[in-house]
């Protein structure tokens, strides 16, 4: 497998192997023995959109495997002078970079590029517009498995701005491939998809109904940057109907865990008490982000590298 763009490029056994590797790394992510794995390799982070945890965890993951990391953000690079993504990638190929982690506002930008032309560099999707965010879904699945022991019997609610969420799309894709068959979507009508996606068991505006017996809730931010003129409820109304506070969380199963990919808008999609409460896995998700990204680099570069060297 040359690129990691979404889970369509992976077989079921490929997904299982990747997840197993994430969980293995999560036991000892900072083991100095890992540093030989990508020794001498060069990885570039190419981010056309804002990011804190995704960019930094890809960087830490690469360092932990012994790779060199170069960070490029759209401001301050030739992108500002109008260079296309394709020309930027070809420049990086000529420089000798082994893999590029790309975050871009345009949906499917990398899928379109690789169909159009062979790109002789490993591309890793760190979020494409309203498309996919596979490394986030991978870390979410690993976090759920670590917290609950397995995904068997999981009843998951994904709440908020589903329409624009690459995190929701990748999680539905990955978790349904892993056998989760009770995924419910909730949010205001204008932030739900026009049609109920495949592998989703319920789509509703009523958060309280969706929460019945749920054992995981994944909260999402309203992605104002992708709204394109949609009318939204005001913040108080939104929080009252689609925000998660302690009282509403009591409607779920008592063991229900709470996830959020971040950044959290406290007081909008989630109260402070829930974000910082004992059922919150938000900090575990961020920590798992490093192991997930180590496993992705390992899958794409480690064995290929052994053959090339």
Interface residue list for ligand NCD (CB under 6 A): 53-54, 127, 133, 136, 166-167, 221, 223, 261-262
Contact 222, 268 (CB under 8 A): yes
Nearest residue (CB) to ligand NCD, 177 versus 221: 221
The least distance separating ligand NCD from the CB of residue 70, rounded to whole angstroms, comes to: 20
Chain CA centroid to CA 155, Å: 19
The least distance separating ligand NCD from the CB of residue 120, rounded to whole angstroms, comes to: 27
| Rounded distance between C-alpha atoms, residue 238 and residue 222, angstroms | 10
| Rounded distance between C-alpha atoms, residue 307 and residue 127, angstroms | 29
The least distance separating ligand NCD from the CB of residue 10, rounded to whole angstroms, comes to: 20
| Rounded distance between C-alpha atoms, residue 155 and residue 184, angstroms | 8
Nearest residue (CB) to ligand NCD, 21 versus 136: 136
Nearest residue (CB) to ligand NCD, 204 versus 223: 223
The number of CA neighbours under 13 Å toward the Cβ of 14 is: 14
Nearest residue (CB) to ligand NCD, 41 versus 169: 169
Show Cβ contacts of residue 76 under 8 Å, excluding neighbours closer than 6 positions: none
The least distance separating ligand NCD from the CB of residue 208, rounded to whole angstroms, comes to: 24
The least distance separating ligand NCD from the CB of residue 132, rounded to whole angstroms, comes to: 10
Helix (H) or strand (E) run with residue 203 in it: strand 202-204
What pairs with residue 4 in β-bridges?
124
Residue nearest ligand NCD by beta-carbon distance:
221
Quote the tokens at residue 303. Answer: 């064995």
Contact 234, 274 (CB under 8 A): no
The least distance separating ligand NCD from the CB of residue 285, rounded to whole angstroms, comes to: 9
Residue reference for tokens 């506070």: 245
Nearest residue (CB) to ligand NCD, 268 versus 302: 268
């Amino acid at each position: 497998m040359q690129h990691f763009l979404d889970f369509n490029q992976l077989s079921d056994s490929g997904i299982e192997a990747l997840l197993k590797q994430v969980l293995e790394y999560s036991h000892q992510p900072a083991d100095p023995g890992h540093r030989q794995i990508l020794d001498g390799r060069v990885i570039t982070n190419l981010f056309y959109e804002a990011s804190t945890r995704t960019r930094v965890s890809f960087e830490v993951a690469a360092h932990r495997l012994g790779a060199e990391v170069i960070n490029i953000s759209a401001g301050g690079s030739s992108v500002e002078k109008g260079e296309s993504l394709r020309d930027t990638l070809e420049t990086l190929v000529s420089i000798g970079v082994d893999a590029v982690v790309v975050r871009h506002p345009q949906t499917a930008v990398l899928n379109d590029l690789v169909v159009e032309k062979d790109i002789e560099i490993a591309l890793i999707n760190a979020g494409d517009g309203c498309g996919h965010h596979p490394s986030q879904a991978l870390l979410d699945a690993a976090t759920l498995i670590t917290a609950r022991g397995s995904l068997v019997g999981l009843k998951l609610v994904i709440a908020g701005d589903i329409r624009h969420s690459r995190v929701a799309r990748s999680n539905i894709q990955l978790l349904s491939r892993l056998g989760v068959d009770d995924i419910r979507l909730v949010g205001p009508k204008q932030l739900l998809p026009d049609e109920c996606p495949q592998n989703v068991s319920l789509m509703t505006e009523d958060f309280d109904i969706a929460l019945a017996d749920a054992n995981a809730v994944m909260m999402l931010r309203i992605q104002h940057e992708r709204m394109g003129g949609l009318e939204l409820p005001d913040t108080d109304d939104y929080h009252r109907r689609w925000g998660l506070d302690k009282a509403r969380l009591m409607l779920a199963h008592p063991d229900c865990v709470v996830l959020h990919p971040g950044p959290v808008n406290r007081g909008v999609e989630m109260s402070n008490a829930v974000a910082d409460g004992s059922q919150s896995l938000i900090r575990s998700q961020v920590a798992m982000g490093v192991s997930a990204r180590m496993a992705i680099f390992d899958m794409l570069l480690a064995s290929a590298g052994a053959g090339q060297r």
